[in-house]
Amino acid sequence: MNTKVILDFVDAINRADVVSMVELMAEDHTFVDSRDNRMTGKENLKQGWVGYFTLFPDYKIEITGMLHEESLFYMVGYAGGTYKSMQNEANTNYWRIPAAWTAVIQNNKVQVWQVYADNGVVIDIINRNQ
């Protein structure tokens, strides 16, 4: 069952389906980004993901490997998308980077979602377009 929750969460991310994502989150869900910034609570995360999909409307994650120990999941793969900007030069705003994630599932909900990635490429694209 826990694996299904993870796969459903990844599918919801890849469809930018924030409503489904929030339904799969625990009430006190915590998101941790690659700089160890933390956001907690479904409503905060709902707003955070809406904002993220506004910046990167085609954001997708590809899971190429997964291991788990009971409720703790380890995933590796790639994250990518296109930064939406006013300049939007042909394909220069697209990025795809290696990434890893950990997740904790409690009571069939995603309790923690943490991403590990070097976002330097993404930050460079954002800075170039400002």
Is residue 21's pLDDT more than 90? yes
Residue 116 domain boundaries: 2-128
Q: State how far the Cα of 13 lies from the Cα of 58, in Å rounded to an integer.
A: 10
pLDDT at 88 over 60: no
Residue 40: the pLDDT is 97
Cα–Cα distance measured from residue 37 to residue 9, given in angstroms and rounded to the nearest whole number: 20
Question: Which pTM value belongs to this model?
Answer: 0.90
pLDDT bucket at 89, cuts 50 / 70 / 90: low
Residue 20 has pLDDT above 60, yes or no: yes
DSSP the chain: -HHHHHHHHHHHHHTT-HHHHHHHEEEEEEEE-TT--EEESHHHHHHHHHHHHHHSTT-EEEEEEEEEETTEEEEEEEEEEE---SS--TTTTEEEEEEEEEEEEETTEEEEEEEEE-THHHHHHHHHT-
Which residue would you say has higher pLDDT here, 89 or 92?
Answer: 92
pLDDT at 104 over 70: yes
How many separate domains does the chain show?
1
Query: What is the reported pLDDT for 85?
Result: 65
Percentage with pLDDT > 70 across the chain: 93
Residue 92 has pLDDT above 70, yes or no: no
Residue 45's CATH number: 3.10.450.50
- pLDDT single digits (tens) 31-63: 999 999 999 999 999 999 999 999 999 999 999
Amino acid identity of residue 111, one-letter, is Q
User: Looking at residue 33, what is its pLDDT?
Assistant: 94
